[in-house]
Amino acid sequence: MEEGGSTLCILVATDCHLGYLEKDEVRRFDSFDTFEEICSLAEKNKVDFLLLGGDLFHENKPSNSTLVKTIEILRRYCMNDRPVQFQVISDQAASLQNRFGQVNYEDRNYNIGLPVFTIHGNHDGPSGVDNVSSNDILSAGNLLNYFGKTDLGCTGVGKVTVYPVFIRKGETYVALYGLGNIRDERLNRMLHEPHAVNWVQPEPGDGTPAYDDWFNILVIHQNRRNYLTETKGSPRNGISELLLPRFLDLVIWGHEHECLIDPQEVPGMVFHVTQPGSSIATSLINAEAKPKHVLLLEIKGTQYRPTKIPLQSVRPFEYAEVVLEDQVDVDPSDEATIHVHLHQIVSNLIEKARESAATGSLPKPPLVRIKVDYSGFSTINSKQFGQNYVGKVANPQDILVFKKSGKRCKITQGSTNSSGEVDINELNQQTIEALVSESNLQMEILSVHDLNSALHDFVNEDDTRAFHSCLQQSIEEARNKLTTATEDSTNIDEQQIACLLDQNMQAPEKEAITEGRTGLQNLQTDTLSVFEKPPTLESDDEPVESSDPEENGSSSSSQQAGRKRRAAPGGGGGFAAAAAGRRKTDLTSFQRAPTKEDDADATKKRRAPVAAGRYGAVIRRR
């Protein structure tokens, strides 16, 4: 690695879930082992800083033991004499939420050699009266720089101003935006609402370069709906890449545990997305069985070079699916043959894990998961089955999971843990969600979250009107939203909306829902009628094209003219052509606040927020 100079070198990791399964005798140290490896990789590669994408902790209220272990690791790796060779040139108190209001390595009472930056995830987000997150503990102790924490307020959709951390190293200028996890539904609404999300942007002057010469990174922690999964679930079921502002160059996407770390181009957008994936498997699903990586990110000027580094300390995880019907050596009338067949598979997977383990160190007993489609067969006792593998497999108690009707539940290519499969631990929260995504319902009006609540009330509180109220409320909300949308957007096609309203949402398969929970025997069909024909405001099949009112204002065309389309970098020193080729920053779509704010620029303080308008309803190209 080039030290000093103008190359900013960042190690990117996410979803370390420290403290995950801390009570499991076998796996309790897994999260810490890998976090320690990540820190040691940062040290070995002499990066400028370590950047984390949220869910550093598995719980917002980590145990004392987890806090102690985490602090010990950070202290061992972050505190040293290595000089920090970049500067944070933005208002530090605005972007870093702690009482000391500065980046940790500038506190001269601490000898920080490796700064760590992180946002919060859904597991370790702020809560309580004081809006405190577990990351705040580390931040108060000056062990990390916690950014992207927002106070949304309690009323309405809320507004948020994203103050980035402006980083300078030599001639490289990076604006690091962070958006700690917000409930998907809420963030979705905010991204659709004008001015609800203000992205503060660098302004040239004071020796900083023109706007175009900044490299803009966003770290986000949400369910991801990319161009591949765009058709899955409702818009409230994740954040679409297409909703993000176009001035970005690179998006680091946390929360999704599948490792899709190579930056991907988003068709129709100008930025790339890297999804590092978790550093530990918290769901035993196919997506988590892929090798785990972290990303070494070198940025020079406006070019970047991504290098993925495999993690060695991750516990091996082998995953298989088997449809008993299709196996010739399995006899439906003889349970023993099922046993023999499944034991054979487990043995093979253990062997496979052993072979692929790094040589030299004693390999950890692997995680093994077999998803068994047992249609036409009887299940076998999973716990009993696992007793043969105590000491050989890290999860003997749940090697096997049984599912009927594999056809309906088959994992779609590219699906993620949050929408693809129901994790046994998250059954309470995810039943409706999973059913909805399995059936590929287009739930545009009804919120899955509200449905879950309704289901909960129906089953646990005996509230027979739960689904009815949920429906009423959702329709009311949709009507209001529609009215607002019509008022806001000048060129929205009213006929198109009316047409959308008439469209019927696909009816769900009722059996799937009644099957989903054992407590549902009493489910009254009239309450389920809410699923049948609600109006739909927006459909993914027929995307609504709408534009921001300000985009058509008098100022925007001149603004756009003033922004050049950034030329592909030529040469780029030691950077690979791949990286150079990927670099496309198109600013034509970037929207600014009205002209009067522009006129007032000269008198404004440097860091005043620039209202970035509405990024929501862009054309979806698929």
Q: Which stretch binds a copy of itself (CB under 8 A): 31-39, 59-67, 164-172, 224-232?
A: 59-67
**Shortest separation between residue 610's beta carbon and a copy of itself, angstroms:** 31
Which of 97, 137, 119 minimizes the C-alpha distance to 181? 119
The residue within the footprint of a copy of itself, chosen from 31, 34, 118, 133 (CB under 8 A), is: 133
Task: Determine, following the binding rule CB under 8 A, whether residue 359 of this chain makes contact with a copy of itself.
Answer: no
CB of 29 to a copy of itself, least distance (A): 11
Pairing between β-strand 293-300 and β-strand 303-310 as defined by DSSP bridges: antiparallel
Contact track, a copy of itself, 173-212, x by CB under 8 A: ----------------------------------------
Q: Using the rule CB under 8 A, which residue among 40, 46, 71, 331 binds a copy of itself?
A: 71
Residue 72 touches a copy of itself, criterion: CB under 8 A: yes
Element (H, E) at 48: none
Q: What is the 3-state secondary structure (H, E, C) of 146-203?
A: EECCCCCCCCCCCCEEECCEEEEECCEEEEEEEECCCCHHHHHHHHHCCCCEEECCCC
Q: Of 123-131, 273-281, 404-412, 476-484, which segment contacts a copy of itself by CB under 8 A?
A: 123-131
Q: State the minimum distance, in angstroms, from the CB of residue 111 to a copy of itself.
A: 4
The only residue of 51, 143, 281, 297 in contact with a copy of itself, by rule CB under 8 A: 143
Helix (H) or strand (E) holding 500: helix 494-502
Using the contact rule CB under 8 A, the part of the chain among 135-143, 419-427, 489-497, 531-539 near a copy of itself is: 135-143
Asked if 83 touches a copy of itself (CB under 8 A), the answer is: no
**Among residues 120 and 614, whose Cβ is nearest to a copy of itself?**
120
CA–CA gap between residue 575 and residue 304 (Å, rounded):
8
Counting Cα atoms < 13 Å in the Cβ hemisphere of 47 gives 28
**Footprint (CB under 8 A) of a copy of itself, residues 7-26:** 23
Q: Nearest distance from residue 75's CB to a copy of itself, in Å?
A: 7
Segment interacting with a copy of itself (CB under 8 A) among 68-76, 164-172, 373-381, 502-510: 68-76
How far apart are alpha carbons 338 and 567 in whole angstroms? Answer: 62
CB of 50 to a copy of itself, least distance (A): 17
β-bridge mates for residue 308, sequence order: 295
Q: 224-225 and 239-240 as β-strands: parallel, antiparallel, unpaired? A: parallel
Catalytic residue among 17, 58, 120, 123: 123
Residue among 90, 92, 95, 134 that touches a copy of itself (CB under 8 A) = 134
In terms of C-beta density within 10 A (0-12 exposed, 13-18 middle, 19 or more buried), how is residue 416 classed? buried
Q: What element of type H or E holds 433? A: helix 427-438
Residue 141 interacts with a copy of itself (CB under 8 A): yes or no: yes
Give least dist CB 108 to a copy of itself, A: 7
Please state, in angstroms and rounded to a whole number, the distance separating the CA atoms of residues 309 and 297: 11
Nearer to a copy of itself (CB atom), residue 102 or residue 547: 102
Could you tell me how many residues of this chain bind a copy of itself (CB under 8 A)? 32
What's the per-residue H, E or C state across 330-357?
CCCCCHHHHHHHHHHHHHHHHHHHHHHC
Could you tell me the smallest distance in angstroms from the CB atom of residue 540 to a copy of itself? Answer: 39
CA–CA separation, 17 vs 316, rounded Å? Answer: 17
Residues 87-116 that bind a copy of itself (CB under 8 A): 99-100, 107-111
Antiparallel, parallel or unpaired: β 250-254 and 116-118: unpaired
Which one among 1, 5, 24, 61 touches a copy of itself, defined by CB under 8 A? 61
CA–CA dist 101, 95 (Å, integer): 9
Residue 596 near a copy of itself by CB under 8 A: no
Q: Applying CB under 8 A, does 65 fall inside the site for a copy of itself?
A: yes
Q: Is 64 in the site for a copy of itself (CB under 8 A)?
A: yes
**Cα 546 from Cα 490, distance rounded (Å):** 9
**Residue 132 in the binding site for a copy of itself (CB under 8 A):** yes
Minimum distance from CB of 83 to a copy of itself (Å)? 14
Taking the least distance from each CB to a copy of itself, the nearer of 43 and 421 is 43
Q: Is 120 a catalytic residue?
A: no
In this structure, what token pair is assigned to residue 74?
A: 């950070």
Closest C-alpha to 215, from 87, 86, 117, 302: 302
What 3-state class would DSSP assign to 236? Answer: helix
Q: Which of 6, 45, 63, 375 touches a copy of itself by CB under 8 A?
A: 63
**What is the C-alpha separation between 111 and 443, in angstroms, rounded?**
52
For residue 224, the cross-strand partners are 239
Q: How far is the CB of 138 from a copy of itself (least distance, A)?
A: 9
Q: How far is the CB of 100 from a copy of itself (least distance, A)?
A: 8
Selected from 26, 89, 94, 137, the binder of a copy of itself by CB under 8 A is 137
Q: φ, ψ for residue 31 (rounded to 5)?
A: -65, -35
Nearest residue (CB) to a copy of itself, 132 versus 357: 132
* Dist CA 107 CA 368 (whole Å): 46
Burial of 413 (0-12, 13-18, 19+ CB in 10 A): exposed
In this structure, what token pair is assigned to residue 429?
Answer: 């929260």
Q: What's the closest the beta carbon of residue 257 comes to a copy of itself, in angstroms? A: 24
| Nearer of residues 40 and 347 to a copy of itself, judged by Cβ | 40
User: For the window 475-504, what string marks contact with a copy of itself as x by the rule CB under 8 A?
Assistant: ------------------------------
**Distance in angstroms (rounded) separating the CA atoms of residues 25 and 390:** 12
Is there binding between residue 60 and a copy of itself (CB under 8 A)? yes
Tell me: does residue 560 bind a copy of itself (CB under 8 A): no
518: exposed, middle or buried (C-beta count within 10 Å: 0-12, 13-18, 19+)?
A: exposed
Taking contact as CB under 8 A, which single stretch among the options 70-78, 150-158, 228-236, 457-465 is the one that binds a copy of itself?
70-78
- Residues 6 or more apart whose CB falls under 8 angstroms from that of 229 comprise 238, 412, 414, 415, 416, 419
CB of 590 to a copy of itself, least distance (A): 37
- The closest alpha carbon to 157, from 124, 212, 200, 197, belongs to 197
Window 21 to 50, contacts with a copy of itself (CB under 8 A): 23
Closer residue to a copy of itself (CB): 93 or 600: 93
**Residue 574 binds a copy of itself (CB under 8 A):** no
User: For binding to a copy of itself (CB under 8 A), which residues are involved?
Assistant: 23, 60-61, 63-65, 67-68, 71-72, 75, 79-80, 99-100, 107-111, 128-130, 132-134, 136-137, 140-143
Active-site positions read 123
